[in-house]
Amino acid sequence: MTDLRPALTVTAAIVGLRIVFLAFDRTDLFVDEAQYWLWGQELALGYFSKPPLIGWLLRAMSEIAPQATFWVRLPAPILHGATALILARLALMVRPGGTTLAAWVAAAYLTMPIVSVGSWMISTDTVMAPFLAAGLALWWRAGRGGLAPAALAGAMLGLAFMAKYAAVYAVAGIALAQMLVPARRLGGVQLAVMVLPFAIVIAPNLLWNLSNDMTTVAHTMENVGWIGPEGRGPSVNPGGFAAFVASQFGVMGPVLMAALVWAAATRRGAGFGWLALFALPPLAVVSVQALLDQAYANWAFAGLLAGVPLATAILYDRAPRWLRISTALNAALCLVVPLAAALPGVMRLPSGEPMAARYLGRAQVSRMIDEAARAGGASAILATDRDLLADLFWTLDGTDWAIYAPRPEGAPSNYYEQTRPLPDDPPAPVLRASFAPSDCAAARTLAAPRIAGGAHAGRVLHLELLPPACL
């Protein structure tokens, strides 16, 4: 543990500052965050769009802390801090005595722009990260012999999978290492011992999917645009490919990503080269996805967990000055996120969009809907927009409102349609909140304000009272 002390100091300082900054956060929960919180209120073995671990985590936070944005987001910096220490420990395992290198690995990971954002907003990537890093480190340890590290590696990878299916990329990395790196090759018994706990951990979610029409898997495929009502089938999108590749220099930092590309291209790594086998599959697969349809910048995050120690080791050995420049540059960029969260009305996103345009005004609109429903004597609330539904459940939690989504026509298009559809015989009248007017002639308009600012700025919110004839 003595060798980890510098890495622990770096990690504690950065995570501590992020928690302090989080207390000054003035933004509303984003749509996905509010949805993850709602998942935790009804524990299940799976959910509409993701595996269940993030819902379980936020339920635990609900049990020990009051309902507040701070407490929903608090696990994020802590989980990334744990991931940094695990990667630092991996660096020490690969290079015993490399105390300084381990500290640089922790600093490089924590200052990556994508981790800076991930330490502010709670996400499935954030929950996956420490378990995937632990699985990677234990798999490396298993290569030196022993069944216990192999079993623990399988369990950790299973938990990573229960946070986000992208953890399955590690299976590709292990398969490549088995074929290409004899020194890291596990024996048949070790592989069996690793696979068994992995299968046991993920089995509940697989069974849940089988009993729920493969909901989560189907949603994942719809996200890539190959199936479902919006599925267009693969095409060629060179612009999307170029945008995704460029984005990786932004999410990791330009110097670190350049070092990772150089290490992969030259097959050099000063003992860490095998990590490229875990870093490249996500980057390659998502690059192909970007070429064929579209891809978001964070979709290859799983590969960066292996990429950081490799890129840091290359720079530490061959270009230490550039390692210092990279970390300083990324650290400076890290300050933008907490400042933007504390001053959302002033700061802008990298796209030039005002921070307030995405992260303010949601709770205000929910309270507006609440007031209209009470004034109109409504018995329930129906919202047609996923963004509205997400914040209504969060902001109006503790009230006596029954909140519904529209009845789906065919397969549900979101979690709310799946679990909260308007019943066949709802209590009338129902307050309908939507950004489009109802087509029912008997609906009575209570108000139709144009939202002045925030996430829904410029949109007209139609607040209508629906009698039984409209339901």
* Pair 303, 366 in one domain: no
Q: Which structure tokens are listed for 450? A: 């144009």
- For residue 184, what is the DSSP state? G
* Pair 130, 75 in one domain: yes
- Is the separation of the CB atoms in 466 and 441 below 8 Å? no
* Pair 64, 112 in one domain: yes
Percent of the chain with pLDDT over 70: 93
- Is the separation of the CB atoms in 344 and 356 below 8 Å? yes
* Pair 109, 169 in one domain: yes
User: Rg for the chain (alpha carbons), in Å?
Assistant: 24
- Predicted TM-score (pTM) of the model is 0.93
CA dihedral 98, 104, 105, 111 (to 10 degrees): 170
Asked if residue 348 belongs to a domain, the reply is no
Nearest C-alpha neighbor of 355 from the set 343, 344, 339: 344
* Pair 132, 227 in one domain: yes
* Pair 118, 237 in one domain: yes
Give one DSSP letter per residue of 37-84, joined into a string: HHHHHS--S--SSS-SHHHHHHHHHHHHS-S-HHHHHTHHHHHHHHHH
Asked if residue 205 belongs to a domain, the reply is yes
Q: How many structural domains is the chain composed of?
A: 2
**Range 185-221 burial, b when 16+ CB lie within 10 A, else e:** ebeeebbebbbebbeebbeebbebbeebeebbebbbe
**Confidence band, pLDDT 50/70/90 cuts, at residue 8:** very high
**pLDDT tens digits for 231-267?**
555 578 888 889 988 999 999 999 999 999 998 888 7
Asked if residue 84 belongs to a domain, the reply is yes
How many angstroms separate the CA atoms of 241 and 295, rounded?
Answer: 8
Q: Which amino acid, 196?
A: L
Q: Which amino acid, 88?
A: A
* Pair 224, 82 in one domain: yes
For 64, other C-beta atoms within 10 Å of its C-beta total 7
**pLDDT tens digits for 69-125?**
999 999 999 999 999 999 999 999 999 989 999 999 999 999 999 999 999 999 999
* Pair 410, 295 in one domain: no
| Final residue in a domain of this structure, among 310, 342, 374 | 342
**pLDDT tens digits for 304-358?**
999 999 999 999 999 999 999 999 999 998 888 888 888 887 776 655 667 767 7
Q: Where is 446: in which H helix or E strand? A: strand 444-447
How many angstroms separate the CA atoms of 471 and 445, rounded?
Answer: 15
Q: Chain-centre distance of CA 307, in angstroms?
A: 18
Domain extent for 36: 2-342
* Pair 392, 317 in one domain: no
Determine the straight-line distance between the first and last CA of the chain, rounded to whole angstroms.
Answer: 64
For Cα atoms 141, 142, 147, give the angle at the middle one, nearest 5 degrees: 135
Question: What pLDDT sits at residue 227?
Answer: 45
- Is the separation of the CB atoms in 360 and 28 below 8 Å? yes
Asked if residue 410 belongs to a domain, the reply is yes
235 φ/ψ sector (left φ>0, alpha ψ -120 to 50, else beta): beta
* Pair 290, 427 in one domain: no
**pLDDT tens digits for 445-469?**
999 999 988 889 899 999 999 998 8
| Final residue in a domain of this structure, among 280, 309, 342 | 342
Pairing type for strands 462-466 and 444-447 reads antiparallel
Asked if residue 351 belongs to a domain, the reply is no
Asked if residue 8 belongs to a domain, the reply is yes
How many angstroms separate the CA atoms of 90 and 177, rounded?
Answer: 17
Nearest C-alpha neighbor of 463 from the set 445, 442, 439: 445
Asked if residue 350 belongs to a domain, the reply is no
Asked if residue 356 belongs to a domain, the reply is no
Q: Which residue has the tokens 């849940």?
A: 208
pLDDT at 228 over 80: no
- Is the separation of the CB atoms in 257 and 270 below 8 Å? no
* Pair 441, 338 in one domain: no
* Pair 324, 268 in one domain: yes
Q: Chain-centre distance of CA 321, in angstroms?
A: 32
65 φ/ψ sector (left φ>0, alpha ψ -120 to 50, else beta): beta
* pLDDT averaged over every residue in the chain: 90
| Final residue in a domain of this structure, among 282, 307, 342 | 342
Of 42-51, 76-85, 178-187, 216-225, which gets the smallest average pLDDT?
A: 216-225
